[in-house]
Structure 1
Amino acid sequence: MRLNNRSRIGLYHFLSTLVIMIFLVGVLAFFLERYFYDYLDSSSVLFLIIPTLILLVFYFRGRQIFEYDSDGEALIFKNRNIFPFLNKATTDEFPKYKLLKYEILDLVILRRLYITISSKKNNSIILKYDISYLKKKELNDLKFSLSKVIKANKEREKS
């Protein structure tokens, strides 16, 4: 099964540009209110706080582009940001039989996927991916595919 959200790159570019513009307008409004108009007194700090919170939420949600491929004998995970200079892209490829378990951390503003795989030197390695920008159907498809691989691995161990 293949899953990716590359078709929404344009939307993510628009959202990131909008967030940056809201932040810049907020900073400009703060300085204009503080040094020229002075109508709001101490409430002018809200011109900085609200856009900064919006910017932080957008940043902490993580990498926007997630790609998953389970066709063949390997699992391929790719996770990258639309702006390559913000975060390093993550690309992992390993055989299906190494997948031990997965866990999805679902908080209010972010969603993360933790994959546990077996290794020769250590008992297990945990890989982390940002999946905050996946739609509900894509998330359900990802869960189904990973569960199917884990089930096949358990059956293979029994025999």
Structure 2
Amino acid sequence: MRLSNRNKASVYNFLSTVLLMIMVLGIILFIANKYRFNALDDESYLLIIVPIMMLIIFYICGRQIFEYDSDGEALNFKNRNIIPFLDKPLHDEFPKYKLLKYDVVSILFIKRLYITVSSKNNGSTILKYQISYLNRKEVNDLKLSLNKVVKANKEKKDKKADDDRRIFA
């Protein structure tokens, strides 16, 4: 299964640009009010605070572009920001049999995907991806696909354990 919101990159770019323009306009209006018009008293600070808060929320939600591919024998995850210099893009690819479990954590408007992968050195490694910009259907499809992989891995593990018991019995 393939899942990607790469086609929404232009929307996220547009939204980022609009938020930056609103912030600049708010700063200009604040300065104009402060030194020229004096129409707003303490409320003039809202012209700066509100746009900055909206911009902070937009970037706190994390990397906007998420791509997932489970076709073949490997799982492929990519997570990147629309503005390349803000965050280092993530790209992980590993065999399906290494997937142990996953968890989707949702707090307010922030969603994270935690993948636990078996590792030779540490026993297991947790990979973190930001999926705040996926809609509900995309998150459900992602969960369904990962559930299939985890279930198949558990069945293989249980079958191997049964075979081992039969050999040593």
CA distance in 1, matches of 2:6, 2:111: 18
Considering only CA atoms, is the larger Rg found in Structure 1 or Structure 2? 2
Runs of 5+ unmatched residues, structure 2: 160-169
Normalized against structure 1, the TM-score is what?
0.97
Per the TM alignment, residue 82 of structure 1 is displaced from its structure 2 partner at its CA by 1.0
CA RMSD of aligned residues (A): 0.8
2:163 is the alignment partner of 1:156: no
Which residue matches 1:88? 88
1:47-104 alpha-carbon deviations (Å, 9 max, x no partner): 1110010000001011111000001111000001111111110000011111111111
2:32 is the alignment partner of 1:32: yes
Percent identity over the alignment is 58
Which residue matches 2:70? 70
Letter of the 1:143 counterpart: K
CA distance in 1, matches of 2:19, 2:26: 10
Runs of 5+ unmatched residues, structure 1: none
Per the TM alignment, residue 14 of structure 1 is displaced from its structure 2 partner at its CA by 0.8
1:1-159 maps to which residues of 2 (within 5 A)?
1-159=1-159
Letter of the 1:103 counterpart: D
Per the TM alignment, residue 37 of structure 1 is displaced from its structure 2 partner at its CA by 1.1
Length, aligned pairs only: 159
Letter of the 1:127 counterpart: L
Normalized against structure 2, the TM-score is what?
0.91
